[in-house]
Chain A
């Protein structure tokens, strides 16, 4: 556990990785990333909604209800990407024993769960007028529901231990094993017959939707990215405050940071 910076530099090369693996060094950096990402999310969110609701033309087959795509697809992508990110940080934590990796993993989980909830809900309200049903137990929808339960299970297990390190390790296993579900979701509509349509943006021969629709969706996707990064950075800073309570560096940093942010 007590690897010195010098040792790790010898073993792993570059200094920057280990520098920011330290909660004390990462705390202010996370604050800067957070502020930048809130701003990006706000600007792109407004732009994306404008493009999606006021500029994109009506869909020839589905009518106006297709506009749900501008939140459904970005939320679904984020739900899957965040789970993979959680698995990545969990793996890193188990492998290298870095405390910050587990904190990142935990900070991502609630945002991922909420993105999954948005994707499920908007999918239901898109499915009703287009397929005639809010829900169907097919491969894509079912594996996505499982993703939600994986998030809930991860959070429940992480919080179930009094010893945070045990919670870290136990929940990291859920994150890793559950990651198998992500490619299953992604390819479900390709591998099995599904009501859910196959990919229309990331596919061979380029996207199959009108350019303005694509722009609206990409803008919304980057807005969701920025939101998720900002939320995770905010939460990881809270986790650091909770866990590093007795660290010497903590008191002035948190105090100063909090005061600056309030003004």
Chain B
């Protein structure tokens, strides 16, 4: 452990704003990608089910 305290960790030598804006944004983007992936799969499966119900042989 290189930090004296959690306060020092979050402060990042006075550059906490820049460090956490970077790491936070990355976490946000990755979470968003996870949501997008789920949405797309759900959409594809729903369209599949609809096609099957209607006997759609497009």
Flag if B13 contacts A125 (CB, 8 Å): no
Of the listed residues A54, A117, A241, the one surrounded by the most CB atoms of chain B closer than 10 A to its CB is A241
Number of A-B contacts (CB under 8 A): 92
Cβ contact of B23, chosen from A71, A238, A242, cutoff 8 A:
A71
Question: Do A58 and B13 touch (CB < 8 A)?
Answer: yes
| Chain A residues whose C-beta falls within 8 Å of the C-beta of B41 in the assembled complex | 234, 237-238, 241
| Size category, A interface | 35 or more
A114–B19 alpha-carbon span in the complex (Å):
19
A19 close to chain B: CB less than 8 A: no
* A interface secondary structure, majority: helix
B40 contacts A235, C-beta separation under 8 Å: yes
Residues of B within 8 A of A (CB-CB), count: 32
Q: Could you say which of B22, B29, B43 has the most chain A C-beta atoms within 10 Å of its C-beta?
A: B22
**A63 touches B (CB below 8 Å):** yes
Decide: A117 and B29 in contact? CB cutoff 8 A: yes
Closest CB of chain B to A205's CB: distance in Å?
A: 28
Enumerate chain A residues within 8 angstroms of B45, measured Cβ to Cβ: 241, 254, 258
The answer to whether A65 touches B19 (Cβ under 8 A) is yes
B13 to chain A, nearest CB (A): 4
- B32 to chain A: which residues have CB within 8 Å? 114
Within 8 A of A (CB), among B21-57: 21-23, 25-26, 29-30, 32-33, 36-37, 40-41, 43-45, 47-48, 51-52, 57
Q: Which residue of B lies closest to A38 (CB)?
A: B34
* Nearest chain B residue, comparing its CB with the CB of A241: B44
Residues of A within 8 A of B1 (CB): 54
Question: Which residues in chain A, 215-246, are within 8 Å of chain B measured between CB atoms?
Answer: 227, 231, 234-235, 237-239, 241-242, 245-246
Q: Is the beta-carbon distance between B37 and A68 smaller than 8 angstroms? A: no
Which residues of B are interface residues toward A (Cβ below 8 A)? 1-3, 9, 12-15, 18-19, 21-23, 25-26, 29-30, 32-33, 36-37, 40-41, 43-45, 47-48, 51-52, 57-58
What are 7 of the A-B contact pairs (CB < 8 Å)? A67-B12, A71-B26, A110-B33, A128-B18, A227-B30, A235-B40, A250-B48
Task: List the interface of chain A (C-beta within 8 A of B).
Answer: 53-58, 63-65, 67-68, 71-72, 75, 110-111, 114, 117-118, 121-122, 125-126, 128-129, 227, 231, 234-235, 237-239, 241-242, 245-246, 250-251, 254, 258
Beyond A64-B15, A110-B36, list 20 extra A-B contacts (CB 8 Å).
A53-B9, A55-B2, A64-B12, A64-B13, A65-B18, A67-B19, A68-B18, A68-B19, A72-B22, A114-B29, A121-B25, A125-B21, A126-B22, A128-B18, A227-B30, A238-B41, A241-B41, A241-B44, A242-B44, A254-B48
